[in-house]
């Protein structure tokens, strides 16, 4: 808020976007965890110059109804955002 007051520029609140992202991820994979899968959000990085957020996560899956050994999959994704003033 202070940055906006001083500059008029909107920015994401670091503490808020990180906690919201971890909360949303946990909610999204909660059902998978109950079924025995494992999923973890590892890193969130914000680039305000490019207006992007990058996340890194990994998960363990068990293909073919647990007949094959577990496989760990690592994922990175970038999302572009824009600030809208109302």
b (16+ CB within 10 A) / e for 46-73: beeeeeebebebebeeeeeeeeeeeeee
Residue 85 has pLDDT above 70, yes or no: no
Residues sharing a CB contact under 8 Å with residue 50, sequence separation 6 or more, in sequence order: 80
pLDDT band at 82 (very low <50, low <70, confident <90, very high): confident
Output DSSP code: residue 8. -
Which helix (H) or strand (E) segment is 19 a member of?
helix 14-34
pLDDT band at 59 (very low <50, low <70, confident <90, very high): very high
pTM: 0.70
Residue bearing the bigger pLDDT, 42 or 33: 42
């Amino acid at each position: 808020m202070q940055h906006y007051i001083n500059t008029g520029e909107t920015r994401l609140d670091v503490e808020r976007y990180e906690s919201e992202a971890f909360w949303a991820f946990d909610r999204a994979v909660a059902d998978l965890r109950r079924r025995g899968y494992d999923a973890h959000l590892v890193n969130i990085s914000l680039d305000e110059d490019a207006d992007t957020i990058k996340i890194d996560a990994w998960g363990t899956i068990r293909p073919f109804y647990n007949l094959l050994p577990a496989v760990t999959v690592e994922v990175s994704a970038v999302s572009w955002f824009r600030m809208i003033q109302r």
